Structure 1
Amino acid sequence: MSLSGIFPIDRWNFTTQSILSILSEEDYQHLIANQSDERYQKGDIIFREGAVPAGIFLIRNGKVKKYKVDQLGKEQIIYVANQGELIGYHAVLSEERYPDSAAAIEDSLISFIPKEDFMDVLHRSPAFTQRLLKALSHEFTVLANSISVIAQRTAPERLAIALIVLREKYKDERSGDEKIVLNVSRTDLANIAGIAQENVIRLLKEFKEEGILETDGRKIWVKDLKLLVKRANYR
């Protein structure tokens, strides 16, 4: 089932997948000419907050969480990046250290692209620069909405929105009428929604009793999207 007409997913989700599509074949080949591929297992760190960036990362396969850690060691997941998306470019563009950390939330194949090649393609392709600026502007809107959720929404509403956004992330992997299965740990789900893990477990049980979703271990699939959107209480 589509979210069209029942939930404004674009206000809660951004993607960099379309950025590379603007490149000519020549510019794309120039971008990836010196790339190196590396496989990451679930939980492996890709980069840490405060590190000096040497380039950007292109997710070939898998999913990556971008997060910050507070003084008590608690994670707040800012964003989940999907196959085909770029990460790490903020620090390269600003010529600053990484403002957050990134880790694989499932086994992933990721290409590292040196910053010199990335910046060179930016200079070669005004269309690429414009598309990147557009993505950054939309990203700011999404992050502002996310901050609003943490500050103003109840725990059930936060969890419902997190599940809606994650469902969209896993949607591309579905084929035909196959159900959309979210394979995510309760810890990561809690850190996305900004609520305690015990509350996530309790609320998932409530949602299950209400016929909204089903679970099997760490796997979750939504049975009634309209009911989940209702739980999100978006107006």
Structure 2
Amino acid sequence: MLSTVKNYGKTVEKTYKAGEVIFREGAVELSMFGILEGQVEMTLNGQLIETIEAGGIFGIGAIVHGDHQRTSTAIAKTDCVLVAMDRERFLFVVQETPMFAIEVIQSYSDRYRNLKKVYEAAIAE
């Protein structure tokens, strides 16, 4: 999936040091990120929600929701190399490569399923 993003140009590689904030909950932005190297932690109200590994994507909600607001905070767990894609480029890639949209949906569905398992295990305790 990240190779599809990089093949369509106008993406920007960004590096973050471990512990550096990538974006904060509540910020209004128009970009998503893919992890080329490293790990990113997603937090909500200061609580760790999940850790996303290299090859994963995050931040797409700010592109697809009308308020473009971040609903969580992303922090580099390790030194990271990310690729950023703005809304215009995202829409172009989806139009040119519809399978990219399916891959994005699958990625988010997989993350949702994992979060659901964690939640169910927590309430079962």
TM bracket (short chain): 0.7 to 0.9
Runs of 4+ in 1 over 3 A off after TM superposition: none
**Aligned Cα root-mean-square deviation (Å):** 1.9
Aligned to 1:159: none
Structure 2 unaligned blocks of 5 or more: none
- 5 Å-filtered alignment, 1:29-44, equals 29-30=7-8, 33-44=9-20
- Counterpart check, 1:115 vs 2:87: yes
Q: 1:36 to 1:20 in 2, by over 3 A?
A: closer
Aligned to 1:82: 53
Tell me how many residue pairs correspond in the alignment. Answer: 124
Structure 1 unaligned blocks of 5 or more: 1-18, 70-74, 154-235
Aligned to 1:184: none
Give 2:22's aligned amino acid.
I
Among candidates 26, 36, 39, match of residue 60 of structure 1: 36
Deviation at 1:135, TM superposition (A): 2.6
Aligned mates of 1:60, 1:105 — CA distance in 2: 14
Among candidates 94, 113, 130, match of residue 65 of structure 2: 94
Q: Secondary structure at the match of 2:123?
A: helix
- Counterpart check, 1:135 vs 2:107: yes
Among candidates 10, 24, 34, match of residue 48 of structure 1: 24
Aligned mates of 1:92, 1:150 — CA distance in 2: 31
Structure of higher CA gyration radius: 1
- 5 Å-filtered alignment, 1:130-169, equals 130-153=102-125
- How much identity, in percent, do the aligned residues show? 24
Aligned 8 A contact 1:55 1:113 in 2:
yes
Give 1:92's aligned amino acid.
I
Deviation at 1:97, TM superposition (A): 0.7
Give 2:113's aligned amino acid.
T
Deviation at 1:65, TM superposition (A): 0.2
User: Residues 129-161 of structure 1: CA distance to partner in whole angstroms, max 9, x if unpaired?
Assistant: 2222233333322221121122223xxxxxxxx
Give the structure with the higher percent strand.
Answer: 2
- Identify the structure with bigger relative contact order (alpha carbons < 8 Å, sequence gap 6+): 2
TM-score (norm 2): 0.84
